[in-house]
Every structure is written in C-alpha cells, then in structure tokens.
Amino acid sequence: MRNKILCVLCVVLCMACGKKEMNLTEGLEFQSRGIDQAAALWTAEDGSKEDFQNLVRAYYCQTDSERWVLFESLSRILERCNESADMLTVELLKPTQLTNAGEPTAADWIMSGYSPMAHFSDDLFANKIAFITVINFPHYSLEEKNSLGKDWSRQEWAMARLGDVFTTRVPADVNARLAQAQADAENYIADYNIYMGSLRTEDDRQLWPEDKVLLSHWNLRDELKALYADTAAGQEKQEMIYQIMQHIVCQQIPQAAINQGDYLWKPYSDTLNPEPYTRYERILATAHALMEEDRYCPSAPTGIQRNFEEGMEIPAQEIDSLFRALVGSEQVKQVAAVIRARLGRELRPYDIWYDGFKTRATLNEDELSEQTRRLYPDAEAFAKDMPRLLECLGFLGEEARKIAEHIVVEPARGSGHAWPCMGRQEPARLRTRIAPSGMDYKGYNIAVHEFGHCVEQVLDMYEIDHYMLSGVPNTAYTEASAFLWQHRDLQLMPNGQKPMANSNEVLDQFWSMYEIMGVSLVDMQMWQWIYAHPDATPKQLCEATVGIAREVWNQYYEPVLGERDCVLLAVYSHMVNAPMYLPNYPLGHIVQYQLEEHLAKFTDPHAFAEEYARIYRLGRLTPQQWLIRAVGAEPSIDPILRAVKQVCN
C-alpha cells in the first residue's frame, strides 16, 4: 500500500480449518514486500490461502530477466487498455465539449458521465493481473522514491511506477459515481456564459457590443486584464466585471442572466431571482463521490490526502507553507507600490490581475485580435501553423513536423483545455474557443497555453523510453510547460520578437504567483471545511466558502489591495469542475520560473529547444527528483523572491 508496507494482512475466512484469520504468506518458500502487499489486498472472494500461495508460486519472478519480460508485457497491456478507453471517452464527450459536433442531445449529456475505466480495477483484480503486478512490482512510498530514487536507473523508476497502479480496490460503482459527478460539474461550467452586451449600467448605458459573450471565470478575467490598455472606459468596465465576479461567488446572479442574452441586467443593483446554489451543489456532489472512495484507501483515507500525497506527491502542509511564505512576503508590498505608481491611483481588488508588466499590455487588443482572426479563421488554420510555431522556439523542421502531427486542434465549448494522449497510437488534443469570426487574441493566448501542454504530452509519450514513465510528476509540471509557451505568445506571431528577460518579466511572474496562491489557499481550505462538515447543504458550503475567501483576503490581500471582506479569491471555475486542481497553477509558476532561469543559459534557439525537450523527456519522476534532474534544485520560491528584491531595491 502507499506510504508504508502494510503489516496487517486482510482477514480471510478459512472454512476448512475453522479459523477466522490466516497468514497468507506463511509457508511460502520466498518472501518480498510485493507478496506482503498483495496479501493485504486479497479477500475471501479472491480465493483461499492455497489459491493465493499457488498464484505466488506460479507468477512470482525470481530473476531480473523474468521480471523485465513481465514488466514489458504488463506495460503493453496497460497502454492498450488506457488508450482504448480514452479513445472511447473522447468520442462520447465530443458533443458536450466541442462546437463542431452539433448540439448535444439528452443522451449525449448522460453519456458524458460514463467512464469506460470504471470497472477496470475490479476486472484486473478478478482475473488476478492486478495481484501478479503487485507481487512483482511493489509500491514505494513518496519518501522512499525521493530517497532511494536518487540512485535508481530509468528501468527501476519505470518498475516503481508500475507499482503505483494497483494499490487500492475502489469498487466500480464508486468510480462511476465520481466520473458522473465530475462530468456534471464540467458541463455546468462549460455553459456558464455572461452575455456582456445585455449588461447595463445604473443609468442604462451599454458598455459592451451585443455579440460579446464571456465564459466564467476565464474570459471574464482575461477581459478584465485586457481593459488596462483602455484608458478611456477600461476602469468602468473592470468595476462591472468585479461586481459580476462577486455575484458568481455568492450565487446572486439572476438565473435569467446566465447563458442567455434576453435579460437586461444591472449588476450593481439587480440580484432578484438568483440561480439556486447550483455552483455549490456541484462541488458537494463531487465531494460526496470522493468520500465514497475513502474507506477503500486506508493509507490515504481522504480525498485531500490522495490529491496531494499521491496525486501531486507533495503534502498539502508543504504547499500551504510555501504559498503563505510568498503571499505574506515583503516583496508583495514592494510590487504593489510599483503597480500603484503606474496606474496613478489607489489599488482596487481586481488589480490582483494587473497585466501591465507584460509586453502585450501596451498593445491594443482589438488590433491583436484582427491579426489572430486573419491567421486563424478556424481550428484547421491553427493546426496547419503548428510546425511554424515550433520552429519559432528552435525545433528543427522535421522535428517540428513530427511533434505537430501528433496534435489535433478542436474548437471547444468551454474556455479550452489540452486532452493528453494516453498511448502512442493516439494524438494529444488541443481545444480552444474559436468564434465564427475567427480566433480572437484571448483565444489565441489560451491556444498557445494549451499548445505548450500538448508539446509536453507528445514529448513524454512518443519520445519516452518506458511507457510507465510517460507524463510528468504532476499537473503543475505540465502547467509549467504551458506557461513557458504562453509567455512567448507574441514571439510566435509572424514577425514576433523573442521576449527579453527584464525587470517587468520578474514582476509579472511574481504578481501572477501572488494572485493564484491566494485562490489556491481558498480552494484548499474549502476542501478541509467540506471534510469537517460532510453533511453540509449547498447554502452552508456557499456561506463557508465566502467566509474562507474573506479570511484569506483580509490577511494577505486587503493590506495591499483594499476592500475588507472581498470574496474575489473564490471565483475560479476550477473550484467547481476540477477538485483541488488549483494549487497546481502556482506550483507550476514556481517551476516555470526555475525553468526560465535555467533555459536562459541556452541563447541559441535550437539549443533552447533541445534542452526543453531533454527536460520533458524525464517523464514521471517525483516532483523533487524531476526538478533536481532538470535544473539541479528542488521546488522553491527563493529564486523569485531574490529577483523581486533585486528589482525593487
């Protein structure tokens, strides 16, 4: 099992001898941690003591060569199963996730919650493949991976990752209910649009054109960022978006103003007939499904532990301390002073998204959108341009073509995402929102972010040495890749220029960390509250989340951005459709900054591309070991804090 080898074997009824318990390994001529771990997973339904011992004698590999042959066979089986199930999932989700698949029917919405892998673990325990795997490829705890893994070969790392596959026995119906809850949350968020042309000021003015539709929270946030370049009407629009965001968190938006444009809504005064507590209903549905898994995971008996200690492979306490150290640093006040001076006014809460440090902040977004619409009238145009985008970052022609041919581009109903390839016969899928008039700059910026995901996914799948090492340590590390690309979006446009490392870039990255770390702290505390109050109602969860957002704001943000009891930190849609995903973003920014410092040494474009590829071919080591092998250091906020101090002093 995870973190420790279980010493206590499971209880198995032995009708023949009349005993209530028996030691499954007693009498075996060989012992190993894998055999002990398999015994702990064996139940009466799996067979008798003799059945277990016969299985061990038949399938335990006593030589390295035998074990390697078995490893390659099991790797092939897992790749094909993962790949086939994923291809079916992609097909079933097309109507609800893509705009070119027609309007989804009632049946499509139902099937979007179906998980082809829900019974996978049950089936492989039933046919004993799972036990054969555990017997020969034991699980190592995170502590062991970080200590022993320093000296492991690539083969040893791959076998250790195989040992992570079958560590619990969560029933298929429990897996299916979690998949359905997550699909319902995803579908809810994908359709949470605000029709900006239907908004009105208190004196009945219309600030946005009729056709402006923004998805919460992503497009609202990006619109707010873009408005810093609008010196005439930008702040008035920002204030209205700020009001909308607060209403989203508190569930005060009129139902008629969500995902439809007929209702003329005044966000400052109209909170009549609000949506019911749907946002928090969706969160609780996912939470309850996760809680069903708890009793089947004795070594990590909460969804919180499984997310951080097994998924991210970094304990929640370490992440919490890391984030609080940055958001509570003196550097925050120093950077806030710079922003205040540039804006020429006192800071407002939404200045948490100040975008003026970026090169594009000085550019007119409408003009940028004109360029991107000409370049990319549809998804196919972006797909055709991917080899050129890769060449801009130093990948050679043939190499760029090979990477691009493993990526498909599709128009998303939501804000966009990257869907990874699960096997080497499947592409990575880049999804981004594309309007009928073409890809505007916001869509382009998101598409470049998702392209960064997809390039990483291709490198660590198609160019990895062992399938069991495909991927990255956790989602923060793929976010780091996406941030690297997104940071260079203007460079990738025709006649674009490479971004120069300067003080503005340092301040921009720091301010991004400051913003998303607060959001993540709220998300993490919300989940702690849910586990402490498992019977809470959606209304109670709403009230608790609002309270947590205010508390974090008052401690770390009100001193520099003002407005006590602001709830802005709870607006992120990920809190609904991606449980506990948010901490991956600030961790990704931390990793990105360390990667940027390292990659800055490679001034030749091709050398940059080669080093980037080397790093992302490391595969799924632990976060600690991956970054040590990538740049020679563990994840740390010290580099960015030093850089900000140097810039501001």
In this prediction, residue 4 carries a pLDDT of 33
pLDDT digits (tens, 9 = 90+) for 508-551: 999 999 999 999 999 999 999 999 999 999 999 999 999 999 99
Q: pLDDT at residue 6 above 50?
A: no
Residue with tokens 């006014």: 345
pLDDT digits (tens, 9 = 90+) for 140-197: 999 999 999 999 999 999 999 999 999 999 998 999 999 999 999 999 999 999 999 9
Residues 384 and 473 in one domain: yes
pLDDT digits (tens, 9 = 90+) for 506-516: 999 999 999 99
Give the domain extent around 246.
Answer: 191-200+219-275
Rounded-to-integer distance, Cα 53 and Cα 270, Å: 70
Return the minimum-mean-pLDDT range out of 22-31, 151-160, 336-345, 596-605.
22-31
Q: Is residue 38 part of a domain?
A: no
Residues 231 and 157 in one domain: no
Rounded-to-integer distance, Cα 381 and Cα 71, Å: 42
Residues 537 and 640 in one domain: yes
In this prediction, residue 495 carries a pLDDT of 81
Residues 534 and 635 in one domain: yes
At residue 366 the predicted structure's pLDDT band, cuts being 50, 70 and 90, is confident
Question: What DSSP element (H or E) covers 428?
Answer: strand 428-432
The values of phi and psi at residue 274, to 5°, are -70, 160
- Report the 10 Å Cβ neighbour count for 638: 11
- Span 314-342, mean pLDDT? 97
At residue 12 the predicted structure's pLDDT band, cuts being 50, 70 and 90, is very low
Of the two residues 347 and 7, the one the predictor is more confident about is 347
Q: Is residue 363 part of a domain?
A: yes
Q: Is residue 101 part of a domain?
A: yes
Residues 270 and 319 in one domain: no
Residues 582 and 640 in one domain: yes
Q: Under a CB-based contact definition with an 8 Å cutoff, are residues 413 and 97 in contact? A: yes
Q: pLDDT at residue 18 above 90?
A: no
Residues 510 and 636 in one domain: yes
pTM for this predicted structure: 0.86
At residue 11 the predicted structure's pLDDT band, cuts being 50, 70 and 90, is very low
Q: Is residue 291 part of a domain?
A: no
Q: Is residue 1 part of a domain?
A: no
Q: Is residue 81 part of a domain?
A: yes
Q: Which of 461, 486, 511 is the last residue of a domain?
A: 486
Strands of 290-414 (E only): list them. 407-411
Q: Which of 486, 510, 531 is the last residue of a domain?
A: 486
Of the two residues 404 and 102, the one the predictor is more confident about is 404
Q: Under a CB-based contact definition with an 8 Å cutoff, are residues 248 and 217 in contact? A: yes
Residues 66 and 113 in one domain: yes
In this prediction, residue 20 carries a pLDDT of 38
In this prediction, residue 364 carries a pLDDT of 81
Q: Is residue 642 part of a domain?
A: yes
Residues 157 and 114 in one domain: yes
In this prediction, residue 19 carries a pLDDT of 34
Q: Is residue 342 part of a domain?
A: yes
In this prediction, residue 10 carries a pLDDT of 37
Contacts of 11 (CB under 8 A, 6+ apart): 20, 21
- Span 249-258, mean pLDDT? 96
Residues 251 and 333 in one domain: no
At residue 351 the predicted structure's pLDDT band, cuts being 50, 70 and 90, is very high
Q: How far is CA 497 from CA 167, 392, 487, 522, in A?
A: 49, 10, 12, 38
How many separate domains does the chain show? 4
- Which residue(s) pair with 274 in the sheet? 254
Q: Under a CB-based contact definition with an 8 Å cutoff, are residues 516 and 586 in contact? A: yes
Q: Which of 425, 458, 486 is the last residue of a domain?
A: 486
Rounded-to-integer distance, Cα 116 and Cα 21, Å: 36
Strands of 177-254 (E only): list them. 193-195, 213-215
pLDDT digits (tens, 9 = 90+) for 446-480: 999 999 999 999 999 999 999 999 999 999 999 99
Residues 352 and 364 in one domain: no
Q: What is the mean pLDDT of the chain?
A: 92
- Span 44-70, mean pLDDT? 96
**DSSP count for the chain of H helices, then E strands:** 28, 5
In this prediction, residue 499 carries a pLDDT of 62
At residue 501 the predicted structure's pLDDT band, cuts being 50, 70 and 90, is low
Residues 525 and 551 in one domain: yes
Distance from chain centroid for Cα 129: 30
